[in-house]
Structure 1
Amino acid sequence: MEANYKKKSLFIKRRFYRRLFVLTVLTITITIISLLVFMKCSPDYIFTICIDPGHGGYDSGAVNQTYKVNEKDIVLDISLKLGEILKKKNVKVIYTRKKDKIPWKNQKESLKGRCKISNKSNADIFISIHANNFIKSKDVRGVEVWCRFENTEAEVLAKKISNKLSSIGYTKNRGLKYERDRPLYVLRNTKAISVLVELGYLSNPQDIEFLMSEEGKIQCAKSIGEAIMDYYSRKND
């Protein structure tokens, strides 16, 4: 009787340890697979950029009455194209908006919200994309890139963007502009290296025709992307 009890007890223990072993192996396997999936889904980004397509939703920005074209739509399209280019370079891309919709009730909240998105994401670079307008004269045209005065890194990036865009040849290069001359909230209140790009004048026939075209949008996005990657390469040489 006692021998049968010991035999039965030994059988139960062996079965328990076999199950424990199988469970342990299964747990380790699942953990390893999960880590591999996480590593694959979480690439080591080279840097983070926050792309800010100006305006949006109720705020149309500049408007070309002839073509019924809004600044908010042109800059959104170019911003999304830019983001896709940079993603292929292993850059982490954050947008302040990806649709023609914004959650903020007014301009003050909108500016604060855009800065908050950039700062919260710990972006290395912040780029706000816009287009100009000057209803008094259709002759005024050209690219402008704004940055903070006496911010060397922002100035280097701004120059690269300005030069790349002007090399396309679609408009004039109006050079660098400094926010000391025109206080720009998004440049003053973002922690990242920050620039604001004015792609051209929607009031100018040549600028608007280029910026409306698909080829024009692609070239603008490509040129800005190249400038950003050139800046990154220079900084990390």
Structure 2
Amino acid sequence: MIVLKSPREIEKMRDACKMVAEILLLLRERVKPGVTTAELDEFADSETRRRKAKPAFKGYCKYPSALCCSPNDVVVHGMPTKTPLKEGDIISLDFGVLYNEFYGDSALTIPVGTVPARINTLLKATEESLYAGIDKAVAGGRLGDVSHAVQAHVEAQGFSVVRDFVGHGIGRKLHEEPQVPNFGAAGTGVRLKPGMVLAIEPMVNEKSYEVEVLEDGWTTITRDGGFSAHFEHTVAITDKGPDILTRI
């Protein structure tokens, strides 16, 4: 069942989403060669609790950390480690909070120092595909319009969208209906209505879209070793168009 949010509930979600955006901005400033993802996770956890909120991911289905840290060929759900980031890496940071009964969720991928031109293009194409999808998140449209816009933009740049993981509805629960694939046909899927709130999150691979989950049950990598990028916003459907709640 898709839960529609009232304008008052969306404003409460905006508070949670603003917090996510602010902490991700602080994390972005801390990404540099020599920093460990364990240090980034510790900062995200402490900063969240300082603001009287709860890290959304920590303890969720037994996930151990506040922050998902996915470097290079890790697509999603990478766990923080004490291995230092190095020049030429990329790092995807996926982060959420629970605040005042509602969740916010967002992600971005950050280059560590200077990265090859093709990897910069991967990051740019992934972020652009997120906004291409958001542009289609309009009342009266179809969910497939969002999915198709993401896929079309990514594939036009020569990259591939992950099939095994998708975006989702969000609200009082971290994961709600509907699922939001990053691939599909325009004009298909559920009708978009005011009050729907979606976590739209393209996961884009440099090469093949095929992935595999490691033995820890969380860390997901590209099967061919290519790099992967991930961008996400929490977006409310309104009568006036898409409202990006996680954008400062």
Question: TM-score by structure 2 length?
Answer: 0.27
Larger relative helix fraction: 1
Question: TM-score by structure 1 length?
Answer: 0.27
Larger relative strand fraction: 2
Q: Which of 1 and 2 has greater Rg?
A: 1
